[in-house]
Chain A
Amino acid sequence: MSDTRTRRVAGATDSQQGDHPSGDNRFDLVDKHLKRARYEQDQLIETLHVAQDVFGYLSEDILIYVARALRLPPSMVYGVATFYHLFTFDPPGDHSCTVCTGTACFVKGADDIVQAVSDTYSVPAGETSEDGSLTLKTARCLGSCGLAPVVVFDGNVLGHQDTESTLELVAGAVGGGG
């Protein structure tokens, strides 16, 4: 079992490292929430939300940190965290490509887009490529059906996409592909 006092959370940049005993100042934000919540055990889910917002995902170190802070058994924290689909346990890639597979987008070939990106960058939908450069996700109707098929790349919503334009987009940010 790892120890939060000596290990750093993967992905912490130099500017995030500092005075916090964990060596990662992002924990200050989690601490702030914990204090406001008076370290109440029923604040577990809220605390996990805050931690995910801060870190982008919940690593084992973060879960252990929360378990310690709320004085809860680690298995219970892990059980609660994995029960909810909202939490993710893998670090997101440097870039993210979300393809809408709602009805309107699906009819207009969203699946081909997913397949193309997945094949080109060897990343299954819902996962991150091995080199950590790209996370490929699918979503249910993003509410912009008029623009179908819709792709969200690094937070930008792009309408009327096709396989070619999406691959171009990804290649522009991530590079080559293949």
Chain B
Amino acid sequence: MRDTRPTVNISFDGVDYEGYVGESVLECARRNGVTIPSLCFLEGLSVWGGCRICVVEVAEGHRLRPACATQVTPDMEIKIETPRLRAYRKSVLELLFAEGNHVCAVCVSNGKCELQDMAVFSGMDHVRYDYQAPRREVDASHPKYVFDPNRCILCTRCVRVCDEIEGAHVWDISYRGEHAELITEMNRPWGDSLSCTWCGKCVAVCPTGSLAYEGRSIGEMEHDPVMIKRLAVARSRGEWLDPEGAI
């Protein structure tokens, strides 16, 4: 489909590209094959802008902006790979690792985890902050899925997908700051939930091993976050089959 939106000229790390008016810096980069790391952002869901992994520098004043929550403007000069940004991303990741209990060696998502990938991508090899080692209980009450809050980074993908796509709004965040934690319904076991449809979308989109199918052992959990984009495209454009597919 030809895009008829008005365009603007922008640049990523000194290379010129064309952006669409109304498009976010992150979307624009993705469309042009330019990599900006991200975590909470997921195509097909609303923008949360909470993880701050996607920060970029915007030329005037080198202001830091979350790429997922910033729209392109005419002649925007965007920097992605600067020493400052690399250091910043590393710190954000280290904080995420220090905040929960991420023991990759025993995780269902080991080797298939977006948080892990991000750490590798950013060259994060150790954590300079004190591990908080919070005590959080696993919720294994759902017959099909397991929720392990120790691995949750509060990206809210599950909250958004359940609310926006499935329409059930089972999840939300309770409390705040260091005490913030995901809950299902009135902070009851997930298995007791009356509104959960067992659709599995929250499990599909989780970037870490926090949400998984029942019975998966170490490294066995494969998520499918792209499913939401497919669904969003299907619903909004009536394209139920992969537009680039063979048939």
Is the Cβ of A75 less than 8 Å from the Cβ of B170?
A: yes
Closest to A67 in B: B186
Is the Cβ of A82 less than 8 Å from the Cβ of B170?
A: no
Contacting residues of chain A (6-59) with chain B, CB-CB under 8 angstroms: none
B188 at the interface (CB under 8 A from A): yes
Closest to A83 in B: B176
B194 at the interface (CB under 8 A from A): yes
A134 at the interface (CB under 8 A from B): no
The SS class assigned to the A binding surface is: helix
Is the Cβ of A1 less than 8 Å from the Cβ of B192?
A: yes
Is the Cβ of B183 less than 8 Å from the Cβ of A78?
A: yes
Closest to B179 in A: A82
Is the Cβ of A74 less than 8 Å from the Cβ of B185?
A: yes
A64 at the interface (CB under 8 A from B): yes
B172's partner among A1, A60, A64, A78 (CB-CB below 8 A) is A78
Closest to A61 in B: B186
A126 at the interface (CB under 8 A from B): no
Closest to B170 in A: A75
Residues of B within 8 A of A78 (CB): 172, 174, 183, 185-187
B226 at the interface (CB under 8 A from A): no
Is the Cβ of A63 less than 8 Å from the Cβ of B172?
A: no
Complex: A22 Cα to B152 Cα, angstroms: 38
A79's partner among B168, B183, B194, B195 (CB-CB below 8 A) is B183
B169 at the interface (CB under 8 A from A): yes
| A-B CB contact pairs (8 Å), 15 listed | A1-B188, A1-B192, A1-B194, A60-B186, A63-B186, A73-B168, A74-B185, A74-B186, A75-B170, A75-B184, A75-B185, A76-B172, A77-B186, A79-B174, A82-B174
Q: Which 10 A-B pairs have the closest CB atoms?
A: A75-B172, A73-B169, A79-B172, A82-B174, A74-B186, A74-B185, A82-B175, A76-B172, A83-B176, A75-B185
